[in-house]
């Protein structure tokens, strides 16, 4: 028997209530086991398809991480990819507790390198590198495959790490001081590496320029997550104000690209829950330098695009001599939330903004955007305890002229925003289990970890 020596197994019931198939769905679950059975988890966990309750089928490559012992209880996370049919349930087994098992080796297209905040991740679709000081994305390069050749096109400006999050502090009147994540210097960094995904998360204080970080300054956490085989990465952020803070602006989900790389900005101002063919609301504007050189620098469509834009994209579909391929870089909204003690979090002119300046294009979402930053009367006060969170998927892929890309991005948005329900069996009864930490996932797996899933 292939799995002779494994003493325990948990069965997952993965249920999809969506009306579409989900091939290669990334699944990530939080598992609790008795510590006495968890001595070799880094090596002995295996994930298998279960055609029946009592049958073990093919093995699925998996990645085990975040193993933590809590006295008699040990928790860990295991990630894998599985095909989930529409409106159906998939049964998957997690095998563990084999003291003699060796760590499996899985070959994927994902590679990573570097140390600390100096990070590089690459798969067959794109390559990304971070700034060694701040850990922010510094290079994003799309790969275009034509016959046996792979063509590389750098989409982001050279020598300019992505801002990520920007806070415009309103200290002295008419003297705003902007600070962003790319101004970090060696923030606290956590990395996860493996065959299925890798990630880099940074935490620190966001202080006004020239000021040392203090407890009263906002706390910021940003994470980038990269996957094997998928043409997207995930970006999430959490900004918490630890003191009453006067500001002129709060921007997040910022991305700057080279203007010369793109011809159009495309946007979808309605919900991705609409039918796949209903794309009448998708719009676009020309951003090709040939057509925009007479425009002054600054925001384009300021206040016009909704804050909750389901997705937007930079598109290249005007052929050029130096790179004769059509491609697009899309940002798909996954999460957007805010809270404040005593009521809703402050918002002012909340919208999605497109900015053109100095040969660069940038998009961002701004819950607070003050245009005239010149007097105390325009200051927005952010109360202590206010939290702004956001998450997006950045998708890099080919553009086509028959609307396949449009419907594909719309379908991907619906898939990202349709949760899976995951139930574990048997129920864990070995002691108090620590709460599951919030993590960023492509499809937002919803795990009812300890609800009994019927009778075996």
DSSP single-letter state for residue 406? H
Distance CA 353, CA 163 (A): 14
Structure tokens at 39: 């001595």
Tally of residues, the chain? 456
Cα–Cα distance list, 266 to 258, 330, 332 (Å)? 16, 9, 12
Residue 320 has, within 13 A of its CA and on its CB side, a CA count of: 15
Beta strands in 19-136 (DSSP E): 22-34, 46-49, 59-60, 62-70, 73-84, 88-96, 111-115, 118-122, 126-130
Which residues face 305 on adjacent strands? 352
Residue closest to 222 by CA, chosen among 192, 188, 193, 198: 188
The fold for domain 8-105+419-448 equals Immunoglobulin-like (2.60.40)
Q: Which residues pair with 352 in a beta bridge?
A: 305, 365
- The DSSP output letter for 323 is B
Residue 453's pLDDT is: 40
The DSSP call for residue 102 is P
| pLDDT for 438 | 81
Q: 246 near 292, Cβ under 8 Å?
A: no
- What pLDDT shows up at residue 275? 53
Distance in angstroms (rounded) separating the CA atoms of residues 306 and 309: 5
Q: Tokens at residue 328, please?
A: 């697009």
Q: Is residue 92 classed as helix, strand or coil in its secondary structure?
A: strand
Q: What whole-number distance in Å separates Cα of residue 349 and Cα of residue 333?
A: 19
What does residue 115 show for φ and ψ, rounded to 5 degrees? -140, 145
∠ CA 120-125-131, nearest 5°, is 25
pLDDT of the chain, 456 residues: tens digit per residue: 477 889 999 999 999 998 999 999 999 999 999 999 999 999 999 999 999 888 889 999 999 999 999 999 999 999 999 999 999 999 999 999 999 999 999 999 999 998 888 999 999 999 999 999 999 999 999 998 876 788 899 999 998 999 999 999 997 766 788 999 999 887 899 999 999 999 999 999 999 988 888 999 999 999 999 999 999 999 999 999 999 999 999 999 999 999 999 999 999 887 656 555 455 567 888 888 877 777 777 788 777 888 988 999 999 987 666 556 789 999 999 989 999 998 899 999 999 999 998 889 999 999 999 998 888 889 999 999 999 999 999 999 988 766 688 888 988 998 998 889 998 888 777 778 888 888 888 877 766 554 544 333
Q: What are phi and psi of 209, to 5 degrees?
A: -55, 135
Choose the CATH number for 111-408 among 3.40.50, 1.10.260, 3.30.70, 2.70.98: 2.70.98
In angstroms, the CA 127 to CA 414 distance is 26
Task: Quote the tokens at residue 448.
Answer: 């009812």
What is the Cα–Cα distance from 456 to 450, expressed in whole angstroms?
A: 15
Determine which helix (DSSP H) or strand (DSSP E) holds 409, and give its type and residue range. Answer: helix 404-416
Give the full edge-to-edge strand order of the sheet including 73-84. 22-34, 73-84, 62-70
Instruction: Say what the pLDDT of residue 319 is.
Output: 66
Strand order in the sheet with 197-205: 188-192, 197-205, 219-227, 232-240, 387-398, 327-339, 311-316, 264-268, 283-286
CB 311 within 8 A of CB 328: no
Residues 181 and 16: their CA atoms lie apart, in Å, by 37
Q: How many other C-beta atoms lie within 10 A of the C-beta of residue 436?
A: 14
Domain chopping of the chain, boundaries: 8-105+419-448, 111-408
**Cα-based distances in Å from 191 to 117, 174, 188, 201, 400:** 9, 40, 10, 6, 36
- From residue 197, alpha-carbon distances to 108, 178, 255, 280 in Å are 10, 33, 22, 36
Cα separation, 391 vs 239, whole angstroms: 12
**Max Cα distance, the chain (Å):** 75
Using DSSP, state whether 431 is helix, strand or coil.
coil
Give the pTM: 0.92
Tokens of 276: 């796949």
Backbone angles phi, psi at 200, to 5 degrees: -135, 125
Q: Are 159 and 71 in contact (CB under 8 A)?
A: no
Neighbour count for residue 364 (Cβ, 10 Å): 24
């Amino acid at each position: 028997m292939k799995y002779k020596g494994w003493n325990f197994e948990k069965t997952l019931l993965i249920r999809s209530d969506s009306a579409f198939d989900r091939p290669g769905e990334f699944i990530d679950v939080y598992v609790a086991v008795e510590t006495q059975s968890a001595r070799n988890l880094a090596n002995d966990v295996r994930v298998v398809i279960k055609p029946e309750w009592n049958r073990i089928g093919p093995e699925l490559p998996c990645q085990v991480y975040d193993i933590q012992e809590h006295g008699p209880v040990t928790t860990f996370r295991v990630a894998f990819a599985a095909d989930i049919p529409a409106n159906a349930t998939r049964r998957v087994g997690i095998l563990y507790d084999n003291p003699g098992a060796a760590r499996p080796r899985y070959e994927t297209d994902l590679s990573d390198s570097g140390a600390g905040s100096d990070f590089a991740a690459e798969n067959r679709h794109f390559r990304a590198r971070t700034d060694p000081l701040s850990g922010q994305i510094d290079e994003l390069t799309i790969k275009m495959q034509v016959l046996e050749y792979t063509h590389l096109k750098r989409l982001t400006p050279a020598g300019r790490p992505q801002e990520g999050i920007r806070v415009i502090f309103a200290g002295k009147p008419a003297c705003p001081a902007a600070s962003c994540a790319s101004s970090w210097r060696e923030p606290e960094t956590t990395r996860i590496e493996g065959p299925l995904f890798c990630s880099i998360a940074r935490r620190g204080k966001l202080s006004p320029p020239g000021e040392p970080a203090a407890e009263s300054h906002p706390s910021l956490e940003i994470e980038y997550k990269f996957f094997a085989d998928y043409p997207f990465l995930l970006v999430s952020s959490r900004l918490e104000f630890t003191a009453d803070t006067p500001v002129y602006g709060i921007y997040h989900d910022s991305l700057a690209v080279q203007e010369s790389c793109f011809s159009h900005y495309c946007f979808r101002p309605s919900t991705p829950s609409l039918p796949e063919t209903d794309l009448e609301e998708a719009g676009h504007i020309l951003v090709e330098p040939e057509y925009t050189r007479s425009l002054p620098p600054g925001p384009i469509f300021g206040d016009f695009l909704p804050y909750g834009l389901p997705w937007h994209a930079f598109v290249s579909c005007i052929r050029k001599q130096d790179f004769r391929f059509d491609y697009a870089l899309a940002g798909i909204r996954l999460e957007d939330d805010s809270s404040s003690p005593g009521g809703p979090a402050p918002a002012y002119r909340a919208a999605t903004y497109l900015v053109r300046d100095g040969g660069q294009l940038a998009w961002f979402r701004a819950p607070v955007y003050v245009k005239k930053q010149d007097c105390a009367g325009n200051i927005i006060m952010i109360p202590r305890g206010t939290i702004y969170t956001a998450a997006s998927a950045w998708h890099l892929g080919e553009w086509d002229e028959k609307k396949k890309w449009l419907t594909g991005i719309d379908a991907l948005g619906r898939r990202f925003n349709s949760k899976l329900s995951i139930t574990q069996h048997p129920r864990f009864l070995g002691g108090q289990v620590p709460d599951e930490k919030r993590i960023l996932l492509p499809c937002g797996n919803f795990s009812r970890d300890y609800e009994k899933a019927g009778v075996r």
